[in-house]
Amino acid sequence: MIRHWLNILRQQASHLQSALMHLKIRLKYPHVQVGKNVRFYGPIELNIHKTATVRIGDNCTFRSATKHNFVGINRPVSLYAGAGATLLIGTDYGLSGTAIVATEEVIIEPYVLLGGNTSVWDTDFHPLDYQQRRVTIAGTKTAPILIKSDAFIGANALIMKGVTIGERTIVGAGAVVTRSLPADEIWGGNPARLIRSAAILQTHLQFAHTVARQGR
């Protein structure tokens, strides 16, 4: 009985925390569009310029602590959108401890999953020339990022500037992606390399499911 009531209290606390996060966004960033049924499990860090365009689609879930995803989250979700930048997050999207930095443009289409502690950066943050780095960050290279529908980015992966991830493509845990990836492939490593076709894997899974149904 006590455990039952404790679970109810935890659920209520989670709902309250999510509602407070919605209120914070509405008050501090009124230009940010947040869709329906967006859930926040733990607070997220936001730094959004008043001239940035930011939209979060329906049915998105943000998890910022290990107790909300036992993959081992080591930081809260953080979203940064600089002056004039665009950050568009599609519907039915999930992320855990993810850091997104949009200085130019980051677009994430529907049904994308970003694993624990992933990072999506459309900037190098600093110039590559060491003498320039000493005095300024002007001249830092940036390029848009596009992650297409149903892509799955594994835990601790890093998506760098200028990258497009194709539909249904899987990026392995810990991968560093510095180039665009086609649809229906599996990539991993640093730098990320092709491992196999995800389309072939899907065919095998469908065949296995068919055999299993016929055997019932």
Q: Which residues are catalytic?
A: 126
Q: Nearest Cα to 108, choosing from 61, 146, 154?
A: 146
CA distances from 149 to 47, 124, 139, 190, 214 (A): 26, 25, 32, 23, 31
- Name residues whose C-beta falls within 8 Å of residue 2's C-beta, 6 or more positions apart in sequence: none
Check whether the bond before 76 is cis (ω within 30° of 0): no
| Alpha helices (H) along 78-197 | 130-135
